[in-house]
């Protein structure tokens, strides 16, 4: 079985080399995306492994199938960058990976605490030798109600971690309760929004969830609500977020993802001008924390993302 892996980062090389030690696979690594001349290298390739930095539409999928590709595996949990219906039409099997939720869950709790304890302005002050306390008073988790929107593997892992902080925990999922930790109350959407001091989002990006956190949803939340998003940036309607921050409806915002982050996150742009004006505007507020889509980024997750992708290709190709 011949595998071509694209968008390969240097930190993935060791695990790819380990996977290539078996006799049943031959793996070619490409640092760039598939459209960077990658189609030329696909002749005789059975499986393609990718990340989420490129849109796999029907035209690209058809070109892949014409060259013999039978399966496409994304080394991510989300699949919103792949046109799944088009893949079915052209005859390419698709799979994602499901690495352990620990990395994202840990990072989510960290972002939540950073937002509550006003760590961002504290660090800025230290950099100019300002060690004053005025304006840095935070809040304890035990005094708050935290709502988790989405109770899949990551959402449940976040709830498990938060259960040790003594906060009141609420959870909502459109598909119903799923093996929630003890002490968590499963509630309807209205109650989740109206009763939570903090809301953390853990749902996939779909047509139904695209832009769901908008002005109408914000109006149903508590004044001063803290929002945390380590799922997908497009869950949030950015103009509504900006209005919520400016008007004080949102007390703090912590996001590891952002709308139109492609070609920004995971790249060094120290000598560039970032064209995403919403990102540039939001990050200047003292109560907003934006990290570079790195919640997944641990040694354990990187190894699992590669190993599970190769195993998925084996499974799909029989």
Catalytic annotation, residues: 232, 261, 293
Backbone angles phi, psi at 184, to 5 degrees: -95, 130
Contact present, 68 and 45 (Cβ < 8 Å): yes
Which among 4, 132, 154, 118 is positioned nearest to 68, based on CA atoms? 4
Contact present, 213 and 227 (Cβ < 8 Å): yes
Contact present, 100 and 224 (Cβ < 8 Å): no
Q: What is the rounded distance in angstroms from the CA atom of residue 70 to the CA atom of residue 83?
A: 15
Q: What is the rounded distance in angstroms from the CA atom of residue 36 to the CA atom of residue 55?
A: 13
């Amino acid at each position: 079985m011949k595998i071509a892996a694209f968008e390969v980062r240097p930190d993935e090389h060791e695990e790819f080399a380990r996977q290539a030690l078996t006799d049943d696979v031959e793996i070619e690594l490409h640092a760039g995306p598939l459209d960077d001349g990658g189609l030329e290298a696909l002749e005789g390739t059975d499986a393609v492994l990718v990340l989420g930095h490129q849109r796999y539409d029907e035209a690209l999928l058809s070109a892949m199938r014409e060259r013999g590709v039978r399966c496409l595996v994304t080394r991510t949990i989300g699949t919103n960058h792949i046109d799944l219906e088009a893949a079915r039409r052209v005859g390419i099997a698709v799979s994602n990976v499901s690495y352990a939720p620990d990395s994202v869950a840990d990072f989510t709790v960290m972002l939540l605490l950073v937002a509550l304890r006003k760590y961002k302005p504290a660090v800025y002050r230290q950099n100019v030798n300002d060690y004053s306390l005025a304006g840095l008073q935070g809040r304890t988790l035990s005094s708050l109600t935290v709502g988790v929107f989405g109770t899949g593997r990551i959402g449940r892992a976040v709830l498990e971690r938060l259960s040790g902080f003594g906060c009141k925990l609420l959870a909502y999922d459109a598909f119903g309760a799923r093996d929630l930790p003890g002490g968590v109350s499963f509630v309807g959407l209205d109650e989740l929004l109206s009763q939570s001091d903090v809301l953390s989002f853990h749902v996939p990006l779909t047509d139904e969830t695209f832009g769901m956190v908008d002005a109408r949803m914000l109006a149903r939340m508590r004044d001063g609500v803290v929002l945390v998003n380590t799922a997908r940036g497009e869950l949030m309607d950015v103009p509504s977020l900006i209005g919520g921050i400016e008007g004080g409806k949102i007390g703090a915002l912590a996001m590891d993802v952002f709308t139109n982050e492609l070609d920004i996150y995971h790249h060094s742009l120290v000598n560039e001008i970032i064209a995403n004006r919403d990102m540039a505007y939001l990050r200047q507020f003292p109560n907003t924390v934006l990290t570079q889509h790195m919640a997944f980024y641990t040694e354990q997750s990187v190894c699992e993302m590669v190993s599970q992708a190769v195993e998925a290709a084996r499974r799909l190709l029989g």
